[in-house]
Structures are given as structure tokens and as C-alpha cells.
Structure 1
Amino acid sequence: MSSLLRIVRFTRSLAPLYTAVILCSVLTSAAALAVPFLIGSATDTVAGAVGGETPAGTAVRTVVLLAAAVLLAELLNTVISNIGGWFGDVMSNRMRTILSVRYYEKLLHLPQRWFDGEITGTIVARLNRSITEITNFAKTMSNSFASMLITTVAVLAISAWYAWPLTVLLLIVFPVYVWLTSLTSVKWQRLEAEKNEQVDIASGRFAEVVGQIRVVKSFVRERGELADFSRRFGATDATTRAQSTHWHRMDVIRRSFLNLVFFGIYVIIFVRTVQGAFSLGEMVLLVQLMSMAKAPVESMSWVIDSAQRAIAGSRDYFRVMETPVDPRTAAVMAAQPGEEPDGTAPDGTAADRAAAEGALVASAPIEPVPGAPVLAFRDVDFAYEDGEDVLHGIDFTVDRGEKIALVGESGGGKSTIVNLLLGLYEPRQGSIEVVGRSSAELPLDQLRSRIGVVFQDASLFSGTLRENIAYGRPEASDEEVVDAARRANADAFIRRFPDGYEQLIGERGLKLSGGQRQRVAVARAMLKDAPVLVLDEATSALDTKAEIQVQKGLDELMAGRTSLIIAHRLSTIAEVDRIITLRDGVIDEIGSPAELAGSGGIYAQLLALQSSGDTRRLARYDITG
């Protein structure tokens, strides 16, 4: 239950809606409770007329008025319950919005290491399942449970007025029923967690397969993937059988106990009526009140079942929300009502500070240190996992306007250096400086705003060409977008599309060729106009013609910028200011192309391999001749 209370605290901005739902529940309960009294009074009036105690004319007028009062009470119940239902629907949807946006905001600020251990589809499945279960329970509670609770309390008070033994029996049945239900919780939630694990894995794999369907079809893996998917969901059948058997066995015990208690209640009412303690109207009143009290008890197992699903979902949700974020994350969300002044959620979790409708607020700009190198690695060691480092003592500087190439065997640490520079990972030892400031002290938005990147994989988004080019500067004008595309050698092919810059390019830009995607990526980096440029094998996956077209855009992009290049061909290396060669995560040599050509090191070996035409050995270095 603490998980559900945490959700309430987490969405404290919904307090007005909670209040409206509760108020409607009170009014609905009052209208519902009036009906047994009216029907009881009508019963006594009819009995008086039948027994000759009340004139027939008077009795008819009275029962008609009572029937009209019942109609009014029922109409009020109908109208108010629907108003409460409307507030409940709005509340649950608003809760979904808050929880979803905060989950998304959290994901955007989690460190790269967290994503390395997760499957994308599983992350999405967890969002859908957890939040759906939470909001469904909230909607159920708002539309029915509050009204049932208020009705139950009122029935206890009324029954105590008429006959205290009835209240005693009701006071026994409620706690015992809840206790019997709670006995199932531990085992039920454990089995539910097992089911959720299998469903999340299967859903994650499903998303992964759909995203790479060409690979699946090319390797004729449809049957294998379907079999694995079926196995995962099939495994939930046995779990569900055990879970359902346990639950319904306990339900038989609970309801049998309930039936025995209400047997005693009805015996008391009927016997006291026969003995003259109650009139017929009072008997009808009490029977109806007991039925009103029995309904919420009988439905309690269903409510608790829904609550347990919500608890399981909220645990998965908060497990993600409690994951520590990078302390350098400077982008914050404007606090919404219900949050503390410092932006934290009411339960004090700093990572929960995002507001559903908040806007990103950039950190204050940090000025460069005069005369400092643009980039500097100071004796950096790094390991992706606990164990052996993949980088050892990396130490070099890059001055303003320099073009530096990183050369080494595949897996030698070139891309790792780029990942560290972008703040995706933290060095285990040593430091990285950007414009004279330690990257550990720079807010990530400040760090990354100074670096433009063109990856080997263009990594485009579904949407239009314009949106992709302007991804780093959404506020850019159409003229700026076109200018960037023109300089990236992309404007010509873009204008050949029917919709030009508004052309939709599909998921990951699948409607474009490899060369076209890469030129759009170059245009995106140009429009960002960052002072530092990183080219991570930007043309290594392209054919010769596409590479020439993209390289023209890259040459334009590098002009006047500090550039760090993971080399992909020797002609590019020959034009840089300095080359840094890496061997097994250690810097082997640093020097100009002319200096390293005769040193006998990696670069000299590459030149020799090019002269001999040994393309197989060149490929070990991700280099083409």
C-alpha cells in the first residue's frame, strides 16, 4: 500500500481532482442511502393501508410522493455519479500523463551505462504495463471504491442505531475478510512479478525483431523468433494457473465466511421483526442496508486484485525512477504544483523532479579558460565493466582549429574516446577537459552543445527531412536549414522528393539511401554549428560514389573547426594536422602525417600496406586505401 500512497504523493498536483471525486462520492452515497429509508417508509405505509390503519387515499398519495422521492434520489445518483466518473476519467488520464512524462524525462537523463544493460522494447513495455495498471486502479478507485467506503461507514452507523448486534457482525466481517485476502498477497505478487518478467522480455524482443525485420527475414529466423516469443508467453500459463488456483481457493474461504456472517445478520433481522422489534418497513430498510454493505465486501477481492497489480506496476516504475542520474545533468524541468520548491517530488526523490508539462531550462553558459586547449585528455583510464581497462593512460591535447585523427585496430579504443568526450561515460581515473574546464564540472548540456557529431550510423528519426536537419536547432529558419543542406551536398536530392524538405523519411530514415542519410546527418551537424566536431567513421559504411558526395560536405563542415576524426581512409589521414595512433587502448604515437610516415609505427605500417595493396590487413584498422 505504501507504493500506492507514494503515487498519490507523486501526483499531488491532482489534489483538486481527488477532492472533486471524493465530494461526488459523498453525494452519491447520500442519495443511495436515502433510497432504503424511502422504500422502508413506503412499505410501512402500504402495510398500514392493507391493515386498515391508514385510509387508502392518504396511503396512495404518500406512496406516490415516496416513489417520486426515490426517482429523485436515483436521478441525483445517476447524474452525480457520472460527474464523479468524468472527474475520475480526467484524473486517471492526467495521472497517466504525469507518470509517463516523468518516466520519459528520467530515461533521457539516465547514464549510458544503464541503457547498455537494458533492451529497448523492455523499457517501452515496462512503461505501458506499469502505468496502465496504476492508472486503471486509480480510475477504478475514483469511480467506485470511495463511494463504497463511504456507504459502508454509513451503514455501520445506521445499523448500530437500530440493532447493535448487526454492527458487531459487520465489524467482524470486514477486518477478517481483509485479513484473509492479505494472506494471498505475498505469493500472488511473487507470481505476478514472474509473469511480468517473462512478458517484458518477450515484448522487448518483439520490438527488437520488428526494428530489425530485414535481418530476421534474411537469416530465415521467423520460426525461431516466434518459438521464443511463444515460449515466453507460454511460461506465463503455468504461473497464471498457480496464481489463479491460490487466489480462488482463498476466495472460497473468504466468501464462505462472508455467507455465514450474513446468515447470522439476516436471522437477527427476521427474528426481531417477528418479535415486533422492527416494523415491516424497518425490516426492508435493514435488509437493503445489509445488501449495500455486502456488495463492497464481495467486491473487495476484485479491488485488492486490481490494487496488487498496481502495486507490482508501481514497484517496476519506481525502480527506474530511483536509478541515480548523472550529477552533471543540468537540464531540469519546471516544478509543477505539488512539488517541493527545489523541484523534488513530495517524497523527496531528487530524480522525480520533472513536471508533466515542464519546459527544459538550460544551465548558465560557462566561459572558456583563455589560452587553454580546446580538448585535453589527462592520463585517462577507463573500463566499461568492472575489470580490465580498455583505455590506459590516454594523454593528449587538441588546440583550436586543429584536425586530429585517431588511428588503430578495430576495438583499440577510438570510439571509446569519443564516448568519454561526449560524457556518455566517466573515466575511471584521470580527467577530460573542454575549453579548459574539467568535463566532470561542466553540465552535460554545456558540454554537448560545444560538440557536433557525425556517426557512422546517421541515426535519423521518423519525421520530415527538415525536422531531422534542424534536430539540434529546432528554432532554425527555413533559410538556415536549406543553407546547411546545400553545404552538406544534400539540397539537390532533397528537392527531388515530392514534398522536398517536408518529405517523411520513415523510421530511422529507411526511405533514404545510406549516402543520403549521411548527408542529412552532416547537414544536422552543420546547422548545430558547434565549435568542436567529431567524425566517428562517418563514411566507412558508404560506397565510393556516396563517400565522395558525403566527404565534400564533411570538408565544408570541418573548415575552421576543431575536429577529432576516427579515420576511415588514408587520404583523410594525410590531410590532418596530427595523428594519434592507438594500440590495445594505449597511445602508441602522436605526430604529423609526415613525422609518422617514417617512424615504423602503425601509420607507417598502413602506408606500407596501402602500397602493397593488402586490403585485408587494412580492414583491421577500419581503413581503406
Structure 2
Amino acid sequence: MSALLRILRFTRSLRLYYVGIMLAAAVVTGAGLAVPFITGRATDVIVDALDSGGGDDVLGATIRTVLLLAAALLLAELVDTLVSNIGGYWGDVMSARMRTILSSRYFEKLLWLPQRYFDNELTGTIVARLNRSIAEITNFMKSMSNMFVTLIMTTIAVLVISAWHYWPLAVLLLIAYPLYLWLTALTSAKWQRLEGRKNEHVDIASGRFTEVIGQIRVVKSFARERSELRHFTEHFDATIGLTDEQSRHWHRMDVIRRAVLNVIFFVLYAMIFVRTVQGHFSPGDMVMLVQLMAMARQPVTSLSYVVDTAQRAIAGSKSYFEVMELDEASIGGGGTPPREPSPAPSTGGDGATIRFTDVRFGYDNDGDVLSGVSFEVGRGERVAFVGESGGGKTTLMNLLMGLYDTRSGSIEVAGAGADVEALRRSIGVVFQDPSLFSGTVAENIAYGRPDATRAEIEDVARRAAVDEFVRKFPRGYDTVIGERGMKLSGGQKQRIAVARAMLKDAPILVLDEATSALDTKSERLVQAGLENLMHERTSLIIAHRLSTIAEVDRIITLRDGRIDEIGTPDELAASGRIYAELLALQNSASAADRKRLKTYDVVG
């Protein structure tokens, strides 16, 4: 019950819909309760007319009466038809609004969660959890708002009317309701436990499904179709066994519940029939009470559906609220709390100065990736980071952008303060993976500046050598590039990523092997644009080519997660350490030396 109340509190903005739906249900219930009384009255009128053996006057009066009663039945049915559809319409709108509220808040929560959360979750699992949880919650709330008032009003009305006519009828009903609820509660605990295990398998399988479809070329290239299908099917096969156990338990208990109910209603009908024969009830009373007993049975049997949807909603809400209650600090920080946009740091003064002070960092519970890292980068300075693959270069950039929190130490960007959102707006970045979206070329270039004009977009496209291939597309910059830019080559995607960073025009530039996917011709074209972009900007470069490293102001080398040396290219070339070793490897004709060079993520 607490989970359901929590859902109501979470969607309290829909309370007018809840009230409207419940009022409509009340009217429908009233119309339904009128039917037994009308049919009972019609029965008595007809029986009295037949027993009296009256003449034409009596027959005519009887016909007029039963026609009026038939008209009353028609009116009750019309009211039921009209109001139930109005309530259904409100329920549909309420359900859509609830889905919007729950989906938007879930998406908002995910957007502000730290990067560390996504490192440990499959994208498809996150999506599957969203779809399943919200569907189960909205389905329950829609059915509950339509049925709740009907069930309550029908139950109360039947109890009062039964007690008025013959109190033992009401006593038996008062026994039937709680007994059925108790038997249902016995069923619920095991059912929910099994449903939770089923959900885990479905979420894992759905997550893998999304991942495989997103990487289908890799799957096909390695001939892994059968293996992926087998693992996917295993999870759903597991749900079959759990459903078998769950269903056997549910239906076994349902046999007991319904059998108990059948016995109680047998006694109720027997009492009505016997008292009618004894003359305590008229035929009309008997018809009315029999119909009321049928109406009394409906709320009890409807509990099976209500409980079923409620259990699914409770199970779904647990998954939903587990995410909504995640504490960014407990995950490890790096999230972005929602706030009003604030101005990005200015490039003037010390606005682009970066300072790492004794930074220590590691992923989850693993050992430190970085330890005791300290350095400063002045405004407009170009600094390259060199080290073996996995040595922490990209991790430094992730920490700079606030994607993770340090274990100790501090990172400062003058002008950004503690506002992570402002910090990220002050940084333009080109990743090794271009990470494009499934929109048009123009939309991807303008992702960092959605308000950019077409002229500005085309200008940076020319500088990043995007224009030369886009102009060949039939729709030009309005060409849809597919999910993750699948319609483009690696070099084309990278050039769009470079243009995206150029258009953002941020005071700090991070190039994480920005030209690694480009051929020699494209690299020359893009490098010219990057040179222009880096002018008077603080640039942090993880280089793919030694030729790029040679152009920077300073080089910072990393070894085993610590800074090994800092200096200009000329100074480090003479130091005899990592950078000097790279230069020597570059000039070597030995295959072993060329292989060793690649371990530093650079080529000659």
C-alpha cells in the first residue's frame, strides 16, 4: 500500500483527473444499482397483474407501468454508457499524462546521474526498466481509478440493502469480503518475489538486445549471432519456469478462494429462495436480491484483477523508485544537478586557467588510476599528454569535465567555480569516438550550440573539411546520418565531431586523439582548422601523432598514474625519458620499436 500511496504523491498534479474519474465511476455505479430495483419492481407489477386476473383497465395500467420501468432501464443504461465513456476518456488522458510525468522525471534523473552509474549499467537495461515500470504503474492507476469507487460503492450499497431486507445476508457478505482478501494476501507475497526475479531476467535480456542491435556489425563480423541468440533465449526461458511456478501458485490459491466464495454465495442464494417460498420476499424482491448478490460477487472477483495489476505496479515502482532515489554522492559524484544556466567562464583574464592539485582517482573499488597528479595550464597554452595506453590520459580529461569525482585532491578551472554545468559549457571536446546522434549533419554540428545559424554551421564545416563530402549528399546538411552516424565513414564522423567543437567556440579545448580516425589528407585539412581553433585557447591534447605533439607549448608525460615529467618538446627531447624514447622509437626502423611506439597511442 505504501508503494501505491507513493505513486499517488509522485503524480499529485493529476488529482483532478483522479477525482473526475472517481465521480464518473460513482455515477456509473449508481446507474448499475438502479437496475435491480427497476427489474424487481417490474417483476412485482407483472406478477400482481397476472394474479389479479383484472380486465382491460388493469392490463392497460400494467402495460403503461412496465413501459415506464423499461424507459427507466433505458435511461440507466444510457447514463452508464455516456458517463462510463467520459470516465474512460479522462482515464486515457490521465494515463498519458502520468506516463509523461514518470518518463520525464526518470529521464531527468538519469541526465543528472554521475558517469559512474552508466559505467555499471547496460543502456538497454535502463530503457527496458523505464518501459516496463511505467507501463505497469500507469496500467494499474488507470484501472484502479476506474474501478475503486465502483467496488467500494457497490459493496457498501449491497451490504446496506441486504441488511435492510434480511440481516444474515449482510453478515455472510461481511465474512466473504475479508476472507477473500486474506486468501489473496497469502498469494501475493510469493507472487511478487517471483515477479521480481522475472523482471531481472527480462531487463538483462532487453539490455543485451539493445546493445547487440546497436553493435550488429560487430556481431555479424565475429559470427556471434547464434551465441547472442542463445544467451538472449536463456533469460526468457528462465522466465518460463518462473511463470510456471508463479501461475501454479496463483491458480492453486485461486481455486481455494473461489471455492470458498462459491460456498458462501450458495448459502446466500439458498436463503433468498427459501425466504421467497416462505413468503418473506416477493418475487420482485427475490429478483432484486439475486441481482444484487451478482453485483456483490463482482467486487470480490474483481479483486483478482486489481491485486494482479497492483502487484505488477508495486514491482514496477520498486525498480522505478530505486533509480529515482539514487544518491549522486553515494555513486561517486560527477553528476550535474539541475539548475538554471549560468554564463560560461570568460576567456579573459585567468578564465581558462586549469589547476590539478594532488589528484588521486580510481574506478569503483579498484586501485588508483591516478595518484598525486599536480600541474597547471595557463590561459592560451597548448599542453599534450603522453603515456602508455591505459596510463590515465583520458581519465584526466574526464575528471576535468567533472564526469567523475576525485578520491582526493582538487581540480580548479578559473571562472567556473563549483558549477559543473558552467564548467562543461566552457569546454569544447573531440573524443576518439565521435559519438554522433541520429539526426541530420547540421543538427550534429550544432549540438553544442542549437541556436547557431546555418551560415555559422557551414562555416565551421568548411574549416573542419566536412563541407567537401556533405555537398555530395542529395540533401546536403539536412542528410540524416543514422544512429551513431552509421551512414558515414569513421573519418567523416570525426570531422563532424571536430566541426561540433569548433562551433561551440569554448575557451578550453580538449582533443582526445581527435584526428586518430582520419586519413592523411583529411588530417591535414582538419589540423589546419584545429590550429585556427586553438588560437588563444587553452588546449589539452591527447595526441595520436608525434607531429602534433611537437607543436605544443608543453608536454606532460604519465607513467603508472603519476606525472613523470613536464616540459617543452625540446626540453623533454633531451631528457632521455618517455618523450625522448618516443622520438627514438619513431626514428627506428625496427619492427619491435614500431610496435613499442604503438603502446603509447602515438605513431610517427
Return the TM-score normalized by structure 2: 0.96
Instruction: Quickly say closer, same or farther: Cα 1:368–1:157, change in 2 above 3 A.
Output: farther
**Structure 1 residue aligned with 2:594, among 600, 615, 622?**
615
Please name the residue that 2:37 is paired with.
37
Q: Deviations over 1:551-603 (max 9, x none)?
A: 23322221221100001111111100000000010000000001011101100
2:466 counterpart of 1:463 = no
Give the deviation of 1:373 after TM superposition: 6.4
Partner of 1:549: 525
1:169 maps to a residue whose letter is L
User: CA offset at residue 363 of structure 1?
Assistant: 4.2
User: Secondary structure in 1 aligned to 2:465?
Assistant: coil
Q: Kindly tell me the number of residue pairs found equivalent between the two proteins.
A: 595
Q: Report deviation, 1:481.
A: 1.2
CA distance in structure 2 between the aligned counterparts of 1:387 and 1:21, rounded to whole angstroms: 54
After superposition, give the CA deviation of every residue in 1:62-89 in whole Å (9 maximum; x if it has no partner): 0011001101100110110011000011
The alignment partner of 2:52 has SS state of coil
AA at the equivalent of 2:4: L
Residue 369 of structure 1 deviates from its aligned partner by 10
Please state whether the residue corresponding to 2:481 is helix, strand or coil.
Answer: coil
Find 2:556's aligned residue among 567, 577, 580: 580
Counterpart check, 1:219 vs 2:217? no
- On the 8 A contact 1:497/1:503 being kept in 2, the answer is yes
The letter of the residue matching 2:122 is: I
CA distance in 2, matches of 1:592, 1:9: 61
Judged with a 3 Å threshold, the aligned counterparts in structure 2 of structure 1 residues 366 and 466 are, in CA distance, closer, same or farther, namely closer
How far 1:408 moved relative to its partner?
0.3
After TM superposition, the structure 1 = structure 2 runs for residues 64-463 of structure 1, keeping only pairs within 5 Å, are 64-325=67-328, 332=338, 361-363=340-342, 371=350, 374-435=353-414, 442-463=418-439
Asked if the contact 2:557/2:565 (under 8 Å) is kept, the reply is: yes
CA distance in 2, matches of 1:372, 1:215: 44
Alpha-carbon contact 1:518-1:550 (below 8 Å) kept? no
Q: Paired residue for 2:453, among 477, 482, 485?
A: 477
Once residues 402 and 368 of structure 1 are traced to their aligned partners in structure 2, the CA distance between those partners, rounded to angstroms, is 12
Shift of 1:292: 0.5
**RMSD of aligned alpha carbons:** 1.7
Equivalent in the alignment of 1:12: 12
Q: Deviations over 1:250-274 (max 9, x none)?
A: 0011001101111111122112212
Would you say the 8 A contact 1:331–1:363 is kept in 2? Answer: no
In structure 1, C-alpha distance between the alignment counterparts of 2:499 and 2:351, rounded to whole Å: 29
8 A Cα contact 1:368 1:436, kept in partner: no
In structure 1, the partner of 2:483 is 507
Q: Evaluate the alpha carbon distance shift between residue 399 and residue 119 of structure 1 in structure 2; reply closer, same or farther with a 3 A threshold.
A: same
Q: How many angstroms does 1:328 deviate by?
A: 7.6
Q: How many Å apart are 1:366 and its aligned residue?
A: 6.8
CA displacement at 1:13 relative to structure 2: 0.5
Question: Unaligned 5+ residue runs, structure 1?
Answer: 333-359
* Cα 1:476–1:279 shift into 2, 3 Å: same
Shift of 1:201: 0.7
| Structure 1 counterpart SS, 2:318 | helix
Q: Say if 1:122 and 1:200, in contact at 8 Å, map to a contact too.
A: yes
Instruction: Flag the 1:546–1:446 CA change in 2: closer, same or farther, 3 A.
Output: same
Partner of 1:528: 504
Residue by residue, what CA displacement relative to the aligned partner does 1:154-201 show, whole Å, maximum 9, x if unpaired?
Answer: 211221221211111111111110110000111111111111111111
Identify the residue that residue 348 of structure 1 maps to in structure 2: none
Residues 376 and 209 (structure 1), Cα distance of their counterparts in 2 relative to 1, 3 Å cut: same
1:153 partner letter: I
d(CA) in 2 for partners of 1:618 and 1:548? 22
Structure-2 residue corresponding to 1:346: none
> Aligned AA for 2:388?
E
Question: What secondary structure is seen at the aligned counterpart in 2 of 1:459?
Answer: coil
> Which consecutive residues of structure 2, in runs of 5 or more, have no partner in the other structure?
none
Distance 1:366 1:619, change over 3 A: closer
SS at match of 1:580: strand
1:488 maps to what in 2? 464
* 2:114–2:335 Cα contact (<8 Å) kept: no
Say whether residues 1:47 and 2:47 are aligned partners.
yes
SS of residue in 1 equivalent to 2:511: strand
| Structure 1 residues 198-248: Cα deviation after superposition (integer angstroms, max 9, x where no partner) | 111111111111011111111111111111111111111111111001000
Distance 1:207 1:223 in 2: 16
Q: Which whole-Å CA distance do the structure 2 matches of 1:501 and 1:623 have between them?
A: 33
CA distance 1:364–1:171, change in 2 (3 Å):
farther
SS of residue paired to 1:299: helix
User: What SS does the corresponding residue of 2:328 show, helix, strand or coil?
Assistant: coil
CA contact (8 A) 1:330 1:363 kept: no
Which amino acid in structure 2 is aligned with residue 8 of structure 1? L
Aligned counterparts of 1:550 and 1:445: Cα–Cα separation in 2: 28
1:372 and 1:444 map into 2 onto residues whose CA distance is 15
Partner Cα separation in structure 1 for residue 49 and residue 222 of structure 2? 87
- Would the aligned equivalents of 1:418 and 1:534 in 2 still touch at CA under 8 Å? yes
Distance 1:453 1:528 in 2: 9
Say if 1:146 and 1:563 are closer, same or farther in 2 by CA, change over 3 A. Answer: same
Paired with 2:547 and 2:413, the residues of 1 have a C-alpha distance of 28
The equivalent of 1:342 in structure 2 is: none
* CA positional deviation for 1:285: 0.7
Instruction: Single out whichever of 86-95 and 480-489 deviates more from structure 2.
Output: 480-489
Q: Structure 2 CA distance, aligned partners of 1:552 and 1:190?
A: 61
**Take 1:556 and 1:364, find their aligned partners in 2: how far apart are those partners?**
24
Residues 286, 364 of structure 1: alpha-carbon distance in 2 compared, 3 angstrom cutoff: farther
Shift of 1:149: 2.5
Q: Which amino acid aligns with 1:301?
A: S
Partner SS state of residue 558, structure 2: strand
The question of whether the paired residues in 2 share the 8 Å contact of 1:403 and 1:577 is answered with: yes
| Stretch of structure 1 that moved more, 486-495 or 89-98 | 486-495
Structure 1: distance between partners of 2:583 and 2:157: 91
Contact 2:22–2:146 (CA under 8 A) maintained in structure 1: no
Contact 2:33–2:154 (Cα < 8 Å) also in 1: yes
Aligned partners of 2:342 and 2:160: how far apart in 1? 59
Q: What letter matches 1:605 in structure 2?
A: E
Q: How many Å apart are 1:539 and its aligned residue?
A: 1.6
> Is the contact between residue 31 and residue 79 of structure 2 (CA under 8 Å) also seen in structure 1?
yes
Q: Deviations over 1:527-564 (max 9, x none)?
A: 11110000001122333333333323322221221100
Question: Which residue in the other structure is 1:354 paired with?
Answer: none
User: 1:144 is aligned with what amino acid?
Assistant: M
How far, CA to CA, are the matches of 2:508 and 2:273 in structure 1?
88
- After superposition, the Cα gap between the structure-2 partners of 1:548 and 1:365, relative to the gap in structure 1 and judged at 3 Å, is closer
| Structure 2 CA distance for aligned equivalents of residues 368 and 516 of structure 1 | 30
Kindly indicate whether the alpha-carbon contact (under 8 Å) linking 1:522 and 1:557 is maintained by their aligned counterparts in 2. no
